[in-house]
Amino acid sequence: MINIQNLSLRAGIKPLLSGANLAIHPGQKIGLVGQNGAGKTTLFKAILGQVTIDGGNLSIPADWIIGYVEQESGELEQKVLQYVSFGDQLYADAIASRDAAEKAGDEDAIVRAYDQLDKLQGFAVENQARQLLYGLGFTENSFSQSIAEFSGGWQVRLKLARALMQRADLLLLDEPTNHLDIEAVSWLKQWLKNFPGAVLVISHDRDFLDQVVQGIAHIEQQKITYYNGNFAAFERQRNERLMQQQALHDKQKQQMQHLKTFISRFKAKASKAKQAQSRVKALERMEMVAAVQASNPFHFEFPEPKVQPDPMLQIEQLRFSYADRAIIEKADLVLRAGDRIGLVGVNGSGKTTLLKLLVGELKPEGGKIQVARGVKTGYFSQHQLDTLRPEWSPLQHLLALEDAPSDQQARDFLGGFGFSNEQCLQQVEPFSGGEKARLAMALIVFQQPNLIILDEPTNHLDMETRDALEMALQDYTGALLLVSHDKHLLASIADQYWWVHQGQVELFHGDLDEYLNEQLRRIRQQSEEEKKALISEDASAAKTTNKKQQRIQNAHQRKQLDALLKADLQLSRKLEKSLEKTQQELDRLHALLEDSSLYDAANKDKLTECLQAEAKCKQDLEDLEMQWLEIEEVIQQKKIDFEAKLAG
């Protein structure tokens, strides 16, 4: 097991952990929680040996493999299936040995390499990688694409898939659900339940933690407190402890007041001096028990809508396409007053496109969207934080709105979102993602919408702010349209679901669990088909009498297939180079944005220029990816034709 004893960690001069203890046993799955900045990610780095501990002991068994999500994607020209498969390092080494033997023409070495692959059950590795990719939302067509052809969010998924391929004794996952849709999150929960190794996961997703972990390690006041059970059990146990702590604190206050009164009354009397002195010492020895503070500093609510037209939106024969690919095709929908709708569908199915059409950011190619008079929409997009003016303070943002409040009213309002008087006057550019998300939400709440449209509102929010948002949305009486990978939030807010898939948008007749179970069945069906194909391939191989010659023949066939695919992929080389160039430019901009000096007041113009360039790069990358879809279909068909010819 991993044993953490009396551990001390710092971030610069800031102490994060002091005298912290935790044990991680084989196969144990633990959620690591605590406020932002408490030291969760730094603890991960300490386990990986990436930071030096300041005190205590962190012992890791010498033979344990620690799996984690890599920061870099490696060679961007590497193909998706190979990149994920090579997350299994032993398999990657065996493949490298095989390729070297084939290049040297050493038949004995080729056979030894295949023997090693047999021992590793290497025949199943690519199938497992395919299952991971299916589960995380990738399609068969994408397996032969290069990493560079995917946007940053999809590259994060690839890195997660590669991490899950590791033969790890302990898997470290830091917010693994942040770039996933709710379907992929549901699949990941099932995968982690069956993972035989230990898992230590940082997450603000309550339902994810409830389903995956059997223990919670809570970092608070530089200590780690371990609670048995899932997140719901942790909340129950912690509340009980806090109540006991409050009762003890109240009792102690009474005792201290009694001692102080006695000392005050009798310290001047000679007959009582000895007793008074003993009480002074007792007071000095008494250990203070910290008063329990309010568990959630955030509280806000959406005001009652002044008017609620019914219906609010009517959508007839709505059509929208991109790069000759139909995204929305002949959708007919009605949004009524008070509707609470969850929008579901895998990433790339068109959920965000539909929302942009509804709020007017995109124009439909056909059909119409009729918005009732009096509808006032509050829209929180995935890129809402980019709309904030970095040089403005939260107070300036609020006072710039229509029907702006007085200065004091604005400060009071922002206080409900966790902004102190001092923070109200600070520029927002150095704010964390969570602080910016809270400000963006505050601006929406203040405008008193009767229709709220939220696209992944919790991506940057910690647990406390998520809870406050959930409570506010539960009490909201207007209409609501929500996209979220947070199952707990979606299930507690929505009472009906619109399913976006294959260009269609239709009402899903069932609850969220039924929808997710249907998606999991689809993924399992794909996996079963892969397994059947693998069994059939093994059965054919077993009929060969000369195992050595068959392996060599298979090796040459694979080499021949790789060469043919490479020639086919040259048809799309022009776009591939454009993708690479755009991704490199985006990486360069990200590197610039990580430089703290860029956020100095003197570099304000440069920062604005970088942010604008970053936004353009992201859009260009998405445009290029969409154009690739059509080309990849042609490439995939050629691959299928080749394999059919080979099989015949």
Quick one: three-class SS letters along 249-302? HHHHHHHHHHHHHHHHHHCCCHHHHHHHHHHHHHHHHCCCCCCCCCCCCCCCCC
Question: Do both 419 and 556 map to the same domain?
Answer: no
On whether residue 167 sits in a domain, the answer given is no
Residues forming a β-bridge with 16: none
| Amino acid found at 201 | V
Asked if the bond preceding 405 is cis, omega within 30° of 0, the reply is no
Residue 419, token pair as written in the block: 């902004």
φ, ψ dihedrals at 191, nearest 5°: -65, -45
Beta strands across the sheet bearing 2-11: 14-24, 2-11, 55-59
Question: Can you give the pLDDT at residue 335?
Answer: 92
Which of 499-502's residues contact partners 24+ apart within 8 Å by CB, and which partners?
Answer: 499/344, 499/345, 500/328, 500/343, 500/344, 500/345, 500/349, 500/350, 500/351, 500/354, 501/345, 501/346, 501/349, 502/349
Q: Residue 387 class from Cβ within 10 Å (0-12 exposed, 13-18 middle, 19+ buried)?
A: exposed
Phi/psi of residue 223, each to 5°? -120, 160
**DSSP designation for 79:** B
With beta carbons less than 8 A apart as the criterion, state whether 544 and 550 touch.
Answer: yes
- Please indicate, yes or no, whether residues 559 and 478 belong to a single structural domain of this protein: no
The answer as to whether 516 is a domain residue is: no
| DSSP output for 559-590 | HHHHHHHHHHHGGGHHHHHHHHHHHHHHHHHH
Could you tell me the two tokens for 198? 């230990």
Same domain, 317 and 280: no
Given 509, 536, 555, the domain boundary residue is 509
Structure tokens at 578: 């454009």
CA distances from residue 226 to 30, 37, 235 in whole angstroms, order as listed: 9, 19, 12
∠ at Cα 79 (77, 83), nearest 5°?
105
Looking at the domain assignment, is residue 280 inside a domain?
yes
Instruction: Check residue 645 and give its pLDDT.
Output: 61
Six-digit token string for 241 = 């402890």
Tokens 């979220």 correspond to 484
Nearest to 167 by CA among 196, 141, 144: 196
**Domain total in the chain:** 3
460 plus 580 within the same structural domain: no
Whether residues 343 and 440 fall in one domain: yes
Domain check: are 382 and 330 in the same one? yes
- CA–CA separation, 51 and 44 (whole Å): 9
485 and 417 in a single domain? The answer is: yes
Spatial separation of the C-alpha atoms in residues 376 and 34, rounded to whole Å: 37
Does residue 156 sit within a domain? no
3-state class percentages of the chain: helix first, strand second, coil last, to nearest 5: 55, 20, 30
15 found inside a domain: no
Percent of all residues in the chain with a pLDDT value above 70, rounded to a whole number: 82
Overall pTM > 0.85: no
Beta partners for residue 340, in sequence order: 480
Distance CA 590, CA 378 (A): 30
Q: Tell me, yes or no, whether 539 lies in a domain.
A: no
CA 124 to chain centre: 28
Q: CB-side exposure of 456: number of CA atoms within 13 Å? A: 18
List the CATH number of the domain containing 486: 3.40.50.300
Angle at which helices 547-569 and 89-104 cross, to 10°: 90
- Answer yes or no: do 366 and 492 share one domain: yes
End-to-end, the C-alpha distance of the chain in Å comes to: 53
Helix axes 273-285, 231-266, angle to 10 degrees: 160
In the chain, which stretches have pLDDT less than 50?
A: 288-294, 541-546
Q: Based on the fold, state whether residues 569 and 498 are members of the same structural domain.
A: no
Last residue of a domain, one of 509, 533, 555: 509
Same-domain check for residues 277 and 392:
no
- Beta-ladder partners of 505: 500
Q: 205 and 31 in contact (C-beta within 8 Å)?
A: no
Q: Which residues, at least 6 apart from 292, have a Cβ–Cβ distance to it below 8 Å? A: 242, 243, 245, 246, 249
Residues 338 and 406 grouped into a single domain: yes
Domain interval for residue 474 = 313-509
Does 487 share its domain with 362?
Answer: yes
Torsion 431-432-435-441 (CA) sign: positive
Q: What is the DSSP string of 305-350?
A: PS---SS-EEEEEEEEEETTEEEEEEEEEEE-TT-EEEEE--TTSS
Residues 6 or more apart whose Cβ sits within 8 Å of residue 288: 252
Structure token digits, residue 107 = 């038949």
Tell me, what's the pLDDT at 143?
87
In a domain, 18, yes or no: no
Structure confidence at residue 199 (pLDDT): 94
- Alpha-carbon distance 390 to 197, whole Å? 44
Residue 438 placed within a domain: yes
Return the closest-CA partner of residue 476 out of 238, 225, 300. Answer: 300
